[in-house]
Structure 1
Amino acid sequence: MNRKITILTLGAALIAVPVLAAPGSGDRNATQTRAEVQTRAAEMFAKLDANKDGKLDATDRAAKRAERQAKMFAKLDADGNGSISKAEWDQHGADRAAKRAERGEKRAAAGEAGDGKRHAMRGHHGKRSGHRSMMMMMGKVDTDGDKAISQAELQTAALARFDAADANKDGQVTPEERKAQRGAWRAKRGAAPAAPAGE
């Protein structure tokens, strides 16, 4: 169980690594510098390192989970009396149902009706392959093999992603370079073995 929690903690950091090469503001049309990536990596590490011990491991995962649970309880406990009544629970269910209906209407209006099932199936079948990808990334980021990620390891991984995207090596990653990198990743993941000659 501890190993599983550790992997999930590392996964949170690893998932963040590709994002570091994108602007912190979320503006996909902005150019990102190497210095900005270093700053973003430090900020991401500080956010994930819940107990401030200089590494991301199972302890941080547990702390973040407890924090999320406390927030969820506070959200459900509408009157703040320290307990959740049936009325509060029912209201929570009604709110969730309303949000789902609203999302469904938006998708239908955007011409995406019927896609929900396909997306759900893709998510189900992608779980195992996503776990394998996470483990592979963990091996690359956790360079000393201690099942934890240090700030230096996270920053090194973020800069490696940045450098890979920086095609002309000018210390900046443009939207065009990010788009080219995403295209290369998709092509690599979708590459099929070549058919034998004559087939």
Structure 2
Amino acid sequence: MKRTLIIGGLAALTLTAGGVAVAQQVPQDPPRHARGDKDGDGRVSKAEFVDGRLARLTALDADRDGTVSAAEMQAGREARRAAGADRAFGRMDANGDGAVTRAEFDASRAGRGERRAERGERRGGRGMHRGGGRRGGMERGPVVIADARTRAEQGFARLDANGDGYVSAEERQAQRAERRERRSRPAPASE
């Protein structure tokens, strides 16, 4: 009996220590300025920037004709919603049994509120109007990937303030500060 308890205790201690080691090896999300930095050199090249912007569009282009149709866009939205619902369910299902109990649901809601408070977020999302997106609910036509590439290259040129072919963290921060300043200015009065 004593021997079983000692072996069980050692096994539990080993598992706990192993769990701590695994938890420490989980990679963290990269800082916001480094998300497009695929090679990890601390700056974003034009290719990294443009490819990052076009990756979702090319994935949506199911028939590979270089254009994302409204139907392909809708299918992509539905797939993202389904994936988001799956992630949300997975976060709520704490014990992984495929069912969410009332206790798991309540714990998830409490945790979400705490995380929002820590980040200083307000309820309601990321500044986009509910249901309307950036275009206020207007239907959009097909997206030509070549045109999107051109716009991404122009966007890169605006961000690359010193013209060295890379966007550094400082250049991105300066662009964000400029954008915030522009948005905070009052709109000109129309006559």
TM above 0.5, yes or no, is yes
1:102 to partner: Cα distance: 1.3
Whole-angstrom distance in 2 between the partners of 1:125 and 1:156: 26
Which residue in the other structure is 1:161 paired with? 155
3-state SS of 1:167 partner:
coil
Whole-angstrom distance in 2 between the partners of 1:69 and 1:33: 31
Whole-angstrom distance in 2 between the partners of 1:95 and 1:45: 36
Which residue in the other structure is 1:60 paired with? 72
Structure 1 vs Structure 2: percent identity of aligned residues?
31
Whole-angstrom distance in 2 between the partners of 1:151 and 1:167: 25
TM-score normalised by structure 1 residue count: 0.54
Greater per-residue helix proportion: 1
Unaligned runs of at least 5 residues, structure 1: 1-18, 77-87, 139-145
Q: Report the AA paired with residue 64 of structure 2.
A: K
Which of 14, 37, 47 is 1:35 aligned to?
47
1:174 to partner: Cα distance: 0.6
Q: For residues 99-124 of structure 1, give each alpha carbon's deviation from its aligned partner in whole angstroms, at most 9, with x where no partner exists.
A: 2211223455x4x6xx56xx126x59
Which residue in the other structure is 2:123 paired with? 120
Report 1 or 2 for greater relative contact order, CA contacts < 8 Å, sequence distance ≥ 6: 1
TM-score normalised by structure 2 residue count: 0.56
Q: Report the AA paired with residue 120 of structure 1.
A: R
Which residue in the other structure is 1:175 paired with? 169
Q: Does the 8 A contact of 2:160 with 2:166 survive in 1?
A: yes
- The aligned length equals 146
- Root-mean-square deviation (Å): 4.2
The change in CA–CA distance for 1:62 and 1:92 in structure 2 (over 3 A counts) is farther
Whole-angstrom distance in 2 between the partners of 1:92 and 1:186: 43
Whole-angstrom distance in 2 between the partners of 1:40 and 1:125: 23
Unaligned runs of at least 5 residues, structure 2: 1-31, 90-97
